[in-house]
Structure 1
């Protein structure tokens, strides 16, 4: 049986100015380090491609958008450097999205957990279905949403982020996420969501690329320190994941 940390893929397709970056992992689209590295690389490449006017970030399947960190990889971490490297993967993806000169649209078809909420928080405009509930489960497994926290707080505010972080075992529905600004629009069906995405992409195709790039800089104003901040947070998580408390909590959570 293939090592779960080596499973999954990230694929990019470019058509008529739209770069679609799609990721997949058989375990509810969770993200091992290999996929995180490929995601960051793909976002950077699309952002630097002159053929691309806008980027769509999505995951495969009809259920979970992203289950966050790979538990198989978390349980395999035995030293600080390995832990820092793994959590830096999330930092690198968020920073790639932040620094990408192209606007990024998010397509969230189902539940988002932990790092998945971080991804949804880091796109510039986010569509979701009514099934796209959110949860920051990190505290429940002995860590905390340290790396994704700044991105989540930027969208939800400190109150919304802390509500998710503290109530680590509780889901918040898509309507809650929309009312607090994580999702820009929610839809009853995937078909309705995709139709709305197509309309926005068509609008972006007609828009001034320089204006969109300048808007992106305006949206992310005040985050210039994130290159260092998110790596510091990755170090914090990398140390915490080595504790007996966290290892036992992850093992118990994984066995459910």
Structure 2
């Protein structure tokens, strides 16, 4: 379990895609690339009717961008490519013709909030508080912003993006629309995720595909939009402010 990975397990029409990194499930570029590809392939696989997206371990769901990689960015192009990793995952989820159920067992930060927001139906434990911490280090939630805004509304997204030091609890996230349900334990969460996935497997795949298209309508320009946003983050990560801040996190 200790090695970083993205792995997929398919059983009875359910594809369970798990990402893991020992540093609180933070996401370096190689894991982001593999995650985007795995989601795309599951979407194209006829044996798959529904996808469950989860992270490994029983604590943090996702700590967002890899600090190690952020610190090592020294030019705009490297920065753009790194932040495009999150854009590619969100766009893979958006274009995937199958419903993606999110299983969020613990705290979620930055890019992780974006990943949770890009699921079609997100379920969480009561430990799954969220934080958009990007402003803290001198950047902003540019790439994940559209996905988070789509779920939380502009007001909710702005609130957590400006209040970048604060964790908002799972119940707040449920009331705002990010989580469909919040459970008292991981065991209850897992049982509910499994039951929901099994139920979806009984439905008409064509109907679900058309519903997904309908629910994501108006986001067709996100390939370009998120690429532009990745360039903004890639530029800001080189600022003196951010470089100094990241040094302190070393």
Q: For residue 211 of structure 2, what is the aligned residue in structure 1?
A: 215
Cα deviation, residue 8, structure 1 = 1.0
Q: For residue 163 of structure 1, what is the aligned residue in structure 2?
A: 159
Q: Provide the secondary structure at the position in 2 that maps to 1:132.
A: coil
* 8 A contact 2:14–2:198 mirrored in 1: no
Q: TM-score, normalised by structure 2?
A: 0.98
Higher mean C-alpha deviation, range 198-207 or range 112-121 = 198-207
Q: TM-score, normalised by structure 1?
A: 0.96
Q: For residue 27 of structure 1, what is the aligned residue in structure 2?
A: 23
Alpha-carbon distance in structure 2 between the residues aligned to 1:60 and 1:182: 21
Q: Paired residue for 1:228, among 218, 224, 227?
A: 224
Q: For residue 50 of structure 1, what is the aligned residue in structure 2?
A: 46
Alpha-carbon distance in structure 1 between the residues aligned to 2:241 and 2:163: 19
Q: Provide the secondary structure at the position in 2 that maps to 1:66.
A: coil
Where does structure 2 lack aligned partners over 5 or more consecutive residues?
Answer: none
**Which segments of structure 1 move beyond 3 Å, counting only runs of 4 or more?**
none
Q: Count residues in correspondence.
A: 248
Q: Give deviations 1:51-103, integer Å, cap 9, x for gaps.
A: 00000000001100000000000000011110000000000000000000000
Cα deviation, residue 194, structure 1 = 1.0
Cα deviation, residue 240, structure 1 = 0.6
Q: Provide the secondary structure at the position in 2 that maps to 1:106.
A: strand
Q: Provide the secondary structure at the position in 2 that maps to 1:65.
A: coil
Alignment of 1:99 onto 2:95: yes
Alignment of 1:189 onto 2:203: no
* 8 A contact 1:142–1:250 mirrored in 2: no
Cα deviation, residue 203, structure 1 = 1.0
Q: Give deviations 1:178-232, integer Å, cap 9, x for gaps.
A: 0000000000001111111121112111100000001101110100000000000
* 8 A contact 2:143–2:229 mirrored in 1: yes
Alpha-carbon distance in structure 2 between the residues aligned to 1:37 and 1:80: 19
Higher mean C-alpha deviation, range 188-197 or range 64-73 = 188-197
Alpha-carbon distance in structure 1 between the residues aligned to 2:245 and 2:215: 37
Alpha-carbon distance in structure 2 between the residues aligned to 1:178 and 1:239: 33
Q: Provide the secondary structure at the position in 2 that maps to 1:62.
A: coil
**Matching of residues 49-68 of structure 1 within 5 Å:** 49-68=45-64
Alpha-carbon distance in structure 1 between the residues aligned to 2:247 and 2:205: 48
Alpha-carbon distance in structure 2 between the residues aligned to 1:168 and 1:241: 16
Q: For residue 178 of structure 1, what is the aligned residue in structure 2?
A: 174
Q: Provide the secondary structure at the position in 2 that maps to 1:63.
A: coil
**Matching of residues 117-136 of structure 1 within 5 Å:** 117-136=113-132
Cα deviation, residue 251, structure 1 = 2.1
